[in-house]
Structure 1
Amino acid sequence: MQGWAGEIRLGDGVALFHGLAGDQHAHSHHAIQICAGGGIEVTADCGATVGAALAIPADLRHRLAPTSRPVMLAYLDPDSSAGQAVGALLAGRIGTLDDTVGERLAAMQRQAGPLRAWAVAAAAFPVLSPAGGRGPAGTVARVQAVMAAALDEPVWRPRDLARALDLSVDRLGRLFRAESGMQLRSWLKWQRLQAAIGLALNGEDLTRAAHGAGFADQAHLTRTMRATFGISPSSLFDRQRTVSFKPPA
């Protein structure tokens, strides 16, 4: 059975994998997924779809056929502004990106890696680009500052952040959404996933990685990763080589 081998990069509401994708059973996950690499085949209840680059809507049960060639897999939070725009275009069905776009994506991910390929995708498919801030500037930075200052006991809950910033939970959520384009709870989930993956790939066992990232236990981390990406942490960390937390741009 082919295992996962490649590179992961996580950002706020976006994750990228570049490399060999492991064998997969039919599954669903909450993140919207874009697959590129040439000859991508995805099977769902409606049948098989083949293309150079495909987009899979959130929560659609599907199976990505294994390939011997490296692929780029992008996962997008469906509750973000960009995710909502992509989801509206897909309308619950697998979408095929224009052949020219798909070929450009495949070529770029082979030649320059996944970050450059994502830039090509964003240019060709504008709704993938992060939404511009519309709320009072500084809310995200203030949240990040509170989290950075709480090194001994990280702050992962919206109510704790709101208390530290002297705001109501609802008010903080509205300001954060307006500035970042993401729900605060969704953003915090992605932060916890980043932290857990970083800890695990730096040698921590999954229990310590889960606790260090604000999850109740290893099972909680596993459920969250499966629900978001359709894969378990243990299936990645045996083979994964590198990880970076720089957001795609």
Structure 2
Amino acid sequence: MFVGQLPYLAFHSTVTSATIVGLNTEIQKRIQGNQDWMSSRCFVFDGRLSHETILKGPVGILFADPGSEIGEILTKEAGPSRLSSNPTWAPELIATCFEIQTANPEQYPKILSSSFPFNQLTPAKKIQDDDRLIHVLRKLIESPEETVNIEELAHEIGMSESWLQHEFKNVVGLPIRAFRKWFRIKTAVIALKQGATLADAALSAGFYDQAHFTNVFREIFGISPSIVFKKGESIRWYIQNEEIDKMLKVL
């Protein structure tokens, strides 16, 4: 989750479903290929949508982890068009963001769990019953720097490549390569929040170099990480691996 001030966000696709709220003013958003701008206090969109955003004040953005309950809620809320506006829970999300703005980081989990009920994540039950998918997830997460060879992964668990591709997307909610992209970005962001340089964060998450990380970050968020994480910015982040941790504790 992100709460703070951002400039214009260029065309991007977030990979996972997300929602954005303007804390003081409406947000303007335009879908790629459409000349018309839409205005709303809150938008919900799924990760396949390519869009750009104009912001005129502080915002709150919640990104869903793959396989999470909140991801399913946001995707359903986005609807067939992959984009919707002003859900009934928007005022609650806005209130939560205001509370986070003045709270200490250690208070964030309690704030989210008490004032933002649908953030209660539960593990994907189907994945708990399949040790093969747990093995694949663990390999992707524990070795983000390794190149993914899906054919070799499928061979390791004794299944066909097509089965692995289909079942992974069915259970986790994203194709394997999209999940890996999301998790590597998340790993790098956690490193940045812990004080790492852009270059070190990029390498620790398996990117070739800082430029590679910057390009992928911009594809997902529509902005350079150097702008988001520059010194002196009063931007609040809360990053949680609860969903993934629960999946991996099954073994």
The 3 A distance-change label for structure 1 pair 107 and 186 is same
In 1, Cα distance between equivalents of 2:143 and 2:44: 38
| Alignment partner, residue 223 of structure 2 | 231
In 2, Cα distance between equivalents of 1:182 and 1:191: 11
* AA at the equivalent of 2:54: R
Structure 2 unaligned residues grouped into runs of 5+: 101-107, 245-251
Structure 1 unaligned residues grouped into runs of 5+: 1-15
User: 1:148 Cα deviation (Å)?
Assistant: 6.3
User: 1:134 Cα deviation (Å)?
Assistant: 7.5
* AA at the equivalent of 2:241: K
User: 1:130 Cα deviation (Å)?
Assistant: 8.1
> Percentage identity across aligned positions?
22
User: 1:63 Cα deviation (Å)?
Assistant: 1.1
The 3 A distance-change label for structure 1 pair 118 and 225 is farther
* AA at the equivalent of 2:85: G
User: 1:142 Cα deviation (Å)?
Assistant: 1.2
Judge conservation of contact 2:78–2:84 (CA < 8 Å) in 1. no
User: 1:72 Cα deviation (Å)?
Assistant: 2.1
Of the candidates 142, 151, 160, which is equivalent to residue 135 of structure 2? Answer: 142
Q: How does 1:9-28 map to 2 (within 5 A)?
A: 16-17=1-2, 19-22=3-6, 24-28=7-11
In 2, Cα distance between equivalents of 1:134 and 1:33: 23
Alignment RMSD, CA only? 3.8
Q: How does 1:80-159 map to 2 (within 5 A)?
A: 82=72, 85-89=76-80, 91=81, 95-98=85-88, 101-111=89-99, 113=108, 115-116=112-113, 119-120=116-117, 133=126, 137-147=130-140, 154=146, 156-159=148-151
Q: TM-score, normalised by structure 1?
A: 0.68
* AA at the equivalent of 1:108: T
Query: Which deviates further from its counterpart, 76-85 or 224-233?
Result: 76-85
Judge conservation of contact 1:225–1:232 (CA < 8 Å) in 2. yes
Return structure 1 stretches of 4+ with deviation > 4 angstroms.
Answer: 76-81, 128-132, 147-151, 153-157, 240-243
Secondary structure, counterpart of 1:61 in structure 2: strand
Q: Does 1:64 align with 2:55?
A: yes
Q: Does 1:50 align with 2:50?
A: no
In 1, Cα distance between equivalents of 2:135 and 2:27: 41
In 1, Cα distance between equivalents of 2:139 and 2:133: 10
The 3 A distance-change label for structure 1 pair 105 and 209 is closer
| Alignment partner, residue 203 of structure 1 | 195
The 3 A distance-change label for structure 1 pair 77 and 242 is closer
Q: TM-score, normalised by structure 2?
A: 0.67
- Cα displacement string for residues 51-73 of structure 1 (whole angstroms, at most 9, x for unaligned residues): 2x333562122212223xxx421
The 3 A distance-change label for structure 1 pair 170 and 117 is farther
Secondary structure, counterpart of 1:49 in structure 2: strand
The 3 A distance-change label for structure 1 pair 159 and 207 is farther
Judge conservation of contact 2:44–2:78 (CA < 8 Å) in 1. no
User: 1:226 Cα deviation (Å)?
Assistant: 0.8
